[in-house]
Structure 1
């Protein structure tokens, strides 16, 4: 039985005051029994959020990292720096990083390896665009994204990676894959891992893409959906807490 995991990706949002208010509300509302909860604020707020969480059962993650360990990489943040701040998770390969910053499958694989080398658990994002889905190549695209990481890491290391299936056409659009569409791709990803030699029954696969308190229960009822990577809804304590409650109840 895989324990559900809900991750809040704050993206480039927040301020010292807003973060303090949001975490205070989360501490009141969250009842994380039966579900693991992670919040991923921007780099500059990691220390603040870590301090605010205190004894709450919420982990802190980052939104990206460099593939390099240290050196002349202006503006970059390494996995060891994240670990030094108490981050236990990091999002890697989000579609916004792939499309906006040119992160290829090869780059994403090196970042996943860098995270593991630093003791930070990577959440690998995979997903297809609407054009790719309409062209009938969604599985081919997602499969290649998964294969690149398994090939680079090896099957043993790949079993420690959490995956997040995010159809690009559903991120921030209000559109959501139907529970059946999401389950079909999650099952495909798990089968792809198994065919690659990964012991995949214990691997968590999250769904991301306009997840809300309204659709969360239906998504979490599917056998291969192990939680959610939540964007905008993670900035509203009541909505994010409701998603976490749905995960705990599933």
Structure 2
């Protein structure tokens, strides 16, 4: 069985892999792209380095195979990509991964809504995508009130002051995802949610999936002159 995947390295080059698999093991790998690699011997070593690898091997294990092969060659120089990028592409290929461009997206911007409705929609739409009744969706939230949204695993008493909640008329709600508490106010923040099938992050680690799903946001901000960057595990800062 043949598997194909392409990744555009952020601020780098395109990496394309075509992987042949039999009985759960890689039998051949063709790596291509617009990257630069010296000497030619190094390029010729990439595919053979992965032969025999199990399709269940992690990205780190696949990268180790590539690094070991290149370590035997003198004066190797990779430009616009790394062995990790190749390993990620191979892992995504054999895991049935898809890219943003493989899907038809629905963009939803319903305007200002009550906090509780916004949070309820988050759970509803995620369940719909998981059930296959909705395709990949990007939803922009707008708020008509002031709210503090706490993470799924946070403690109410440790995150908010009840007196302040009452005094300032703050809605406090708990979302279905992890992470920290956030203060939201109508007209003063941009909030969005991605609802995606598992294939979009197939082959990525939990942490790497956040970085991958945030790439489009960073690119969009850059086009508007905002120099923002990703901070693991789930933050964007500038």
Q: Report the structure number with the largest CA radius of gyration.
A: 2
Name the TM-score, length of structure 1 as normaliser.
0.23
TM-score normalised to structure 2 length? 0.24
Identify, as 1 or 2, the structure richer in strand. 2
